[in-house]
Chains A and B, each alone.
Chain A
């Protein structure tokens, strides 16, 4: 019975239903939890996580233990570059954003080269790169974080833009549409899934595997830097570990959204649902005002439970 339901419902649908159920469950714990302001607030928080998890989705689909642990550091770098280069001037964003995105893409491309050309496992390559990016940030800033956030970023990202909805929600929707088009409607998307399923067959059917992998990691870097820019619009200031806390939640969001860590299967709208679920759980635990120890323990159990619903690998017997 459960197996039949599981077959009919795809992981993204389960995650989305779960998010809605969790939201109303929040009302049972605290009636003040269920209202439009709170809902908008949760979607807004999920948007940051979701945008940061976009690149991770692509990398994980590319397979061969694909994972990008440099995302947190690149988010920080993107935010710091925009903060410093724009120095609080709206017009300066015209070059600050492209430079930040290019820096992210370059870092990602280096990851891709290390992984697909030199053959370093993605986990350690991107972990090492995270250290390099953190180190570069320290060298560049010498610990002095000077700069400013252009006022237009606050208006476009975190303040209400249309009605009560802040701009980041629309930006997230736009990222979602762009990711869907990229994955489902472009040649790159088709090649990416082919590479994720099996690199040898992809190569034999004419896919230029190294190019696809490098482009995927470059996109991940670019999207992480973009995530940094968006996050800056929310925090209005930078600090040295701005992106770090988003790294593993982003991976968890991807997995909860049904993208398989072994690659070749997944969707961004699953990741979006995953980001919503994770943010809701976090908000619920906060609303319950538990001690941090209990919060962590409950979060751990819920994560294990979520992963066990559909994160299971195939049986050896099959």
Chain B
């Protein structure tokens, strides 16, 4: 009976399971690392997780709209290379930094628009299309910045690390991200987004501009990839033309752990934010639990599979008991 009720809640609030998991992993992490909630540790963790959080936020929007973006990591590499390789130097003035950030966002939206055009208007399959375009963006990254190096103004990293009012600066940014999502969901685009991902044919029949909505999800994904690249660039203070390559798959796992369904039409960025914290905390636990070095990858993967299995198992058990 309790399982049944849990299942009904889980259906209505897709991120309920993520929330449960979040509490459990945070408790385990806290028991292993009592300093977890101290300002310094909290700030360090959130700072490390924030770039991937932004990337996964964009991925969430694409996935809700029924697509997927395998070029997300390559877009991060490209924007990082652009920022360090041609837009900024260690001596850039604040005005130049602002201009550089705006150009970076524009570049992200432009490549996102290329993805969106191919998927929404040329009707190409999202997985292979974004995989193919990822080569183009990776190539541009290598063209702009052939080898790792470069620097950006040190002030940026200081601000990123600061703790105004004893709250990490990143927390304000995360709150902004969540407010953005709540606002977006309330707009007409937000309604169209869920309709497009859930029932594209029905949505089309009832006058939703399905193709345009799909196009916009990829533009937003490009924008978020650019923002992720900006945060990452500030965080590491240097450039690497392959820096984002490994982030794509992590962003997808975070979205799914956060309760968004890969089939589209359901989910949200709040769940994804939790998904990122869950993944990061799991990695903390592994490093604090003295897991032998050679076993870390296996333990990490097993925990992630367990996290993915959770919601499905609840459904399965429920069916068995009916």
- Identify the A interface with B (CB < 8 A): 65, 67, 114, 117-121, 123-125, 127-132, 134-136, 138-139, 142-143, 248, 251-252, 255, 261-262, 291-301, 303-304, 307-308, 311-317
Interface flag for B175 (CB, 8 Å): no
Q: Which residues of A contact B137 (CB under 8 A)?
A: 300
Query: Which of B124, B204, B312 interacts with A120 by CB under 8 Å?
Result: B312
CA–CA, A293 and B123, complex, Å: 27
B305 x A139 contact (CB < 8 A): no
B252 x A315 contact (CB < 8 A): no
B135 x A300 contact (CB < 8 A): yes
Query: Which of A65, A131, A252, A296 interacts with B297 by CB under 8 Å?
Result: A131
Query: Which of A121, A129, A297 interacts with B139 by CB under 8 Å?
Result: A297
Q: Report the minimum CB–CB distance from B213 to chain A (whole Å).
A: 12
Looking at chain A's contact residues, the main secondary structure is helix
Q: Report the minimum CB–CB distance from A215 to chain B (whole Å).
A: 20
How many A-B Cβ pairs are below 8 Å? Answer: 156
Interface flag for B75 (CB, 8 Å): no
Q: Report the minimum CB–CB distance from A249 to chain B (whole Å).
A: 10
Q: Report the minimum CB–CB distance from A288 to chain B (whole Å).
A: 14
* Chain B 114-147 interface mask (CB, 8 Å, partner A; 1/0): 0000100011110111011111111110110010
Query: Which of A142, A299, A311, A314 interacts with B135 by CB under 8 Å?
Result: A299
Instruction: List which B90-122 residues lie within 8 A (CB) of chain A.
Output: 118, 122
B139 x A303 contact (CB < 8 A): no
Looking at chain B's contact residues, the main secondary structure is helix
B256 x A134 contact (CB < 8 A): no
* Chain B 192-220 interface mask (CB, 8 Å, partner A; 1/0): 00000000110010000011000000000
26 residue pairs from A and B, CB less than 8 Å apart: A65-B262, A120-B308, A120-B312, A123-B252, A125-B305, A128-B304, A129-B301, A135-B295, A135-B296, A248-B131, A252-B128, A255-B125, A294-B143, A296-B136, A296-B138, A300-B133, A300-B138, A303-B132, A304-B118, A304-B136, A308-B118, A311-B124, A313-B124, A314-B123, A315-B123, A316-B204
CA–CA, A65 and B252, complex, Å: 15
* Chain B 296-318 interface mask (CB, 8 Å, partner A; 1/0): 11111110110011001101100
Pick from A138, A295, A300, A312 the residue with the most CB of B within 10 Å: A300
CA–CA, A82 and B297, complex, Å: 22
A135 x B142 contact (CB < 8 A): no
A118 x B294 contact (CB < 8 A): no
* Known contacts A261-B128, A303-B135, A293 near B140 by CB under 8 Å: yes
Q: Which residues of A contact B211 (CB under 8 A)?
A: 316
Number of B residues near A (Cβ < 8 Å) is 51
B297 x A134 contact (CB < 8 A): yes
A304 x B308 contact (CB < 8 A): no
Q: Which residues of B contact A248 (CB under 8 A)?
A: 131
B297 x A308 contact (CB < 8 A): no
Q: Which residues of A contact B177 (CB under 8 A)?
A: none
A119 x B142 contact (CB < 8 A): no
Query: Which of A118, A300, A307 interacts with B309 by CB under 8 Å?
Result: A118
Q: Which residues of A contact B133 (CB under 8 A)?
A: 300, 304
* Known contacts A119-B315, A119-B316, A124-B253, A295 near B139 by CB under 8 Å: yes
Query: Which of A123, A261, A291, A316 interacts with B262 by CB under 8 Å?
Result: A123
Query: Which of B146, B200, B302, B312 interacts with A316 by CB under 8 Å?
Result: B200
* Chain B 237-262 interface mask (CB, 8 Å, partner A; 1/0): 00000000000010011001000011
Interface flag for B263 (CB, 8 Å): yes
Q: Report the minimum CB–CB distance from A56 to chain B (whole Å).
A: 12
Query: Which of B124, B140, B298 interacts with A132 by CB under 8 Å?
Result: B298
A121 x B135 contact (CB < 8 A): no
CA–CA, A127 and B308, complex, Å: 11
CA–CA, A298 and B135, complex, Å: 8
A297 x B313 contact (CB < 8 A): no
Query: Which of B122, B140, B262, B299 interacts with A135 by CB under 8 Å?
Result: B299
CA–CA, A34 and B317, complex, Å: 61
Q: Which residues of A contact B134 (CB under 8 A)?
A: 300
B300 x A135 contact (CB < 8 A): yes
